[in-house]
A = this chain, B = another copy of it.
Amino acid sequence: MNRKTHSKKIYLPEERLPKAWYNIVADMPNKPLPPLHPATKKPVGPDDLAPLFPEALIMQEVTQERYVEIPAPVREIYKIWRPSPLIRAYELEKALDTPAKIYYKYEGVSPSGSHKPNTAVAQAFYNAEEGVKKITTETGAGQWGSALSYATQLFGIELQVFMVKVSYNQKPYRKTMMNIWKASVTPSPSGITDTGRKISAEDPGNPGSLGIAISEAVEMAVNDPSTKYSLGSVLNHVLLHQTVIGLEAKAQMEQVDAYPDVVIGCFGGGSNFAGISFPFVRDKIVGGKDIRIIAVEPDSCPKLTRGQFRYDFGDTIGMTPLIPMYTLGHGFMPPAIHAGGLRYHGAGAIVSQLLNDGFIEASAVPQLESFEAGMLFARTEGIIPAPESTHAVTQTIREALKAKAEGKEITILFNLSGHGHIDLGAYEQYLSNAIDNYSVTDEEIAENLKVLDQMGFPKIEKQK
């Protein structure tokens, strides 16, 4: 199929926007293991989550139903940017001189410029339905905070964002974006929670961390019955909402009689990867499709490729239940790569189970290669990718060049999860040869995992 015979951009009509999200748990041969209480090591139930999340989201967290209806008001808001375009990367294919056909789903068209609003709008809706007046959350680089700001103001919900202090100072544009959408943004550690005040008192120069910001957001939510907390990745209900990406992509590929041999997404907590891939994982599990599904992580935060599958805390300082995850240890501190959204020590329960069961595979890419890929993409396809998304581009280029070497006409689909307009400072550093490749030693990983042994956090064996 060549340029003359079909369009570069493939649009799905708004009336074909999916009416339900896809819940992969229904089709998994081995269901995700339950979270455990850190002290008792007993399963944590829905009731334990009630102080943090509205009931509807807790039910979605544990549901076994295959499809969960997207509420009509959420679908109406989705139509502001969805269905997002599927784009044939003709220009990239040409530059690589590859026989591979490359398609990408572009989520940068959303208000905040990434896939994050897909779940932010859904979460804001369910909170509003249950009368929640205020939500708290944490944000690192600011992608999640800005998406949730956009969503909460639509429903008249107040939002308090705890933004890691070092990012707050480095990325003023993200804070501005959150303010435009009416959120209050406080550098963390802050002066408005006990946690923040205690840490600031002990260490006045503390630059903050995602772990501290989570603690502050959770503290504020727990102390006020009309306030809930919201998370932008990792959890089952977040992954569920993101499947709208893959469902649309599948319908769009059908429109041009295409189907992927390889599906690729970058990997942080797992929500964008799950979004693009789960509907295709279903085809593999249920339909026996011969298809490779690749999660791409940074070389410097290699939980999927070099971590262990075992129970660990979801956060750095140990406030969450124990989650069954591929992990580098909750104490692992990823190097300061620019792909802030991929700097997370673990993977969600569902994705970890799928990796353990061999339905998906993982790959790790070094930072410099990811920026080279981002540059080539900007020069050919015209879109400057977010540093996170360049990881998916990198793996796509690797697969396309492999197909060229082998003379195979494969079809690749990847998710371009966001644009890099707010990340141009990172590209400037790359262009000035001022960024590092970063790597992580086996010793460093082993040391952090040893702590889990000492704490008695169970390892999980390969199942059948």
Known: A81-B382, A111-B378. 10 other contacts (CB 8 A): A7-B15, A8-B80, A9-B79, A80-B381, A111-B382, A173-B424, A177-B424, A180-B378, A181-B378, A421-B422
Residues of B within 8 A of A176 (CB): 424-425, 427-428, 431
Given A113-B421, A181-B379, A379-B180, A79 and B11 contact (CB-CB distance below 8 Å)? no
Given A3-B76, A7-B13, A14-B9, A180 and B427 contact (CB-CB distance below 8 Å)? yes
Q: How many copies does the complex hold?
A: 2
Given A76-B3, A113-B421, A180 and B384 contact (CB-CB distance below 8 Å)? yes
**Residues of A94-146 whose CB lies within 8 A of B:** 109-111, 113
Tell me how far the C-beta of A285 lies from the nearest C-beta in chain B, rounded to whole angstroms.
Answer: 34
Name the one of B181, B182, B421 contacting A421, with C-beta atoms under 8 angstroms. Answer: B421
Tell me how far the C-beta of A216 lies from the nearest C-beta in chain B, rounded to whole angstroms.
Answer: 23
Tell me how far the C-beta of A179 lies from the nearest C-beta in chain B, rounded to whole angstroms.
Answer: 5
CB of A55 closer than 8 Å to a CB of B: no
CB of A373 closer than 8 Å to a CB of B: no
Tell me how far the C-beta of A115 lies from the nearest C-beta in chain B, rounded to whole angstroms.
Answer: 14
The residue of chain B having its C-beta at the shortest distance from the C-beta of A427 within the complex is B176
Binary flags per residue of A3-29, CB closer than 8 Å to B gives 1, else 0: 100011101011100000000000000
Residues of B within 8 A of A7 (CB): 13-15, 79
CB of A172 closer than 8 Å to a CB of B: yes
CB of A150 closer than 8 Å to a CB of B: yes
**A383 CA to B7 CA, complexed, in Å:** 26
CB of A153 closer than 8 Å to a CB of B: yes
**A431 CA to B176 CA, complexed, in Å:** 8
Do B427 and A182 have beta carbons less than 8 Å apart? Answer: no
CB of A375 closer than 8 Å to a CB of B: yes
Tell me how far the C-beta of A433 lies from the nearest C-beta in chain B, rounded to whole angstroms.
Answer: 12
Name the one of B109, B421, B424 contacting A109, with C-beta atoms under 8 angstroms. Answer: B109
Residues of B within 8 A of A173 (CB): 421, 424-425, 428
CB of A299 closer than 8 Å to a CB of B: no
**A425 CA to B80 CA, complexed, in Å:** 25
Binary flags per residue of A176-211, CB closer than 8 Å to B gives 1, else 0: 110111100000000000000000000000000000
CB of A158 closer than 8 Å to a CB of B: no
CB of A61 closer than 8 Å to a CB of B: no
Closest 4 CB pairs of A and B: A111-B382, A421-B421, A173-B424, A176-B428
Binary flags per residue of A375-414, CB closer than 8 Å to B gives 1, else 0: 1001101111000000000000000000000000000000
Residues of B within 8 A of A379 (CB): 153, 180-182
CB of A261 closer than 8 Å to a CB of B: no
CB of A219 closer than 8 Å to a CB of B: no
Do B14 and A8 have beta carbons less than 8 Å apart? Answer: yes
Do B421 and A382 have beta carbons less than 8 Å apart? Answer: no
**A382 CA to B7 CA, complexed, in Å:** 27
**Residues of A417-464 whose CB lies within 8 A of B:** 419, 421-422, 424-425, 427-428, 431
Given A7-B13, A14-B7, A176-B431, A80 and B382 contact (CB-CB distance below 8 Å)? yes
Do B3 and A150 have beta carbons less than 8 Å apart? Answer: no
CB of A361 closer than 8 Å to a CB of B: no
Residues of B within 8 A of A427 (CB): 176, 180
Residues of B within 8 A of A8 (CB): 14, 79-80
CB of A91 closer than 8 Å to a CB of B: yes
**A80 CA to B175 CA, complexed, in Å:** 31
User: Can you name 22 A-B residue pairings with CB atoms under 8 Å?
Assistant: A7-B13, A7-B14, A8-B14, A9-B14, A11-B11, A80-B381, A111-B383, A172-B424, A172-B425, A176-B424, A176-B425, A176-B428, A176-B431, A177-B384, A177-B424, A180-B379, A180-B384, A180-B431, A181-B379, A182-B379, A421-B421, A422-B424
The residue of chain B having its C-beta at the shortest distance from the C-beta of A431 within the complex is B179
**A305 CA to B109 CA, complexed, in Å:** 36
Residues of B within 8 A of A431 (CB): 176, 179-180
Tell me how far the C-beta of A283 lies from the nearest C-beta in chain B, rounded to whole angstroms.
Answer: 28
Binary flags per residue of A266-292, CB closer than 8 Å to B gives 1, else 0: 000000000000000000000000000
**A76 CA to B9 CA, complexed, in Å:** 12
Tell me how far the C-beta of A147 lies from the nearest C-beta in chain B, rounded to whole angstroms.
Answer: 11
Tell me how far the C-beta of A459 lies from the nearest C-beta in chain B, rounded to whole angstroms.
Answer: 45
Binary flags per residue of A158-183, CB closer than 8 Å to B gives 1, else 0: 00000000000000110111011110
